[in-house]
Amino acid sequence: MKCNVGKTDRMLRAIAGVAVIILGVIFNSWFGLIGIVLLATSLLRFCPAYLPFSIDTSKNDESGSCGSGGCGCGR
């Protein structure tokens, strides 16, 4: 699995994921489960939806590696 989610993308996904989960709980809606997907892609630094479009938001990060984000790509 190649990391394809950059720092800014990760932060936005994490914030949006937590917000969607909280709203799902508040409104007693199963749509809150979508927040789990956002949070998981943020933590794993991998988004399968980016693959068909060859999107890689991590290539502009300063560090040049995805670190220990869980995907194990170690660029």
The whole-number mean pLDDT for each consecutive block of 10 residues of the chain, a chain of 75 residues, reads: 92 97 96 95 95 90 58 54
Q: What pLDDT score was predicted for residue 2?
A: 87
Q: What pLDDT score was predicted for residue 61?
A: 75
Q: What pLDDT score was predicted for residue 63?
A: 60
Q: What is the DSSP letter of 58?
A: G
Contacts of 9 (CB under 8 A, 6+ apart): 57, 58
Q: What pLDDT score was predicted for residue 6?
A: 95
Q: What pLDDT score was predicted for residue 66?
A: 63
Q: What pLDDT score was predicted for residue 21?
A: 97
